[in-house]
């Protein structure tokens, strides 16, 4: 399984990567720290799962999710957000801070 993580916080990226290492079926994790460079990669390649921060420098996570959805189903897209009141009627949302198991359950497809 190939996963893309788009998150501007390096410490959060480290945490997410540590969690993803627990999943043996994940063979590749690509990381981007801004929406603009991630958008280019999302347009070029297909991933099996997308973990996207809502608020990013450049293009936001919802815009990235819409682009990713052209390649995979919406259930393979997870938006993470520090805004407790952020909800989206189309995509799964995980609020920061989150527990390890909360992230892992979204990867059980």
pTM of the full structure:
0.94
Q: What is the pLDDT of residues 27-62, one digit of tens each?
A: 999 999 999 999 999 999 999 999 999 999 999 999
Helix (H, G, I), strand (E, B) or coil at 92: strand
* CA–CA separation, 28 and 30 (whole Å): 7
CB 24, CB 1: distance < 8 Å: no
Coil vs helix vs strand at 67: helix
Predicted local distance difference test score (pLDDT) of residue 23: 93
- Evaluate whether 48 touches 20 at the Cβ level (below 8 Å): no
Q: Long-range contacts: 10-15, Cβ < 8 Å, 24+? A: 12/53, 12/80, 12/96
Domains of the chain listed by start with CATH number? 2-106 (3.40.50.2300)
């Amino acid at each position: 399984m190939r996963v893309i993580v788009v998150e501007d916080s390096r410490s959060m990226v480290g945490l997410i990567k540590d969690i993803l290492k627990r999943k043996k079926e994940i063979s590749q994790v690509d990381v981007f720290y801004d929406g603009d460079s991630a958008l280019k990669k999302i347009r070029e390649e297909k991933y099996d799962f997308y973990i996207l921060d809502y608020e990013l420098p450049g293009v936001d996570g919802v815009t990235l999710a819409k682009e990713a959805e052209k390649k995979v189903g919406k259930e393979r897209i997870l938006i993470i957000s520090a805004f407790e009141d952020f909800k989206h009627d189309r995509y799964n949302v995980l609020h920061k801070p989150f527990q390890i198991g909360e992230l892992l359950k979204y990867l059980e497809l």
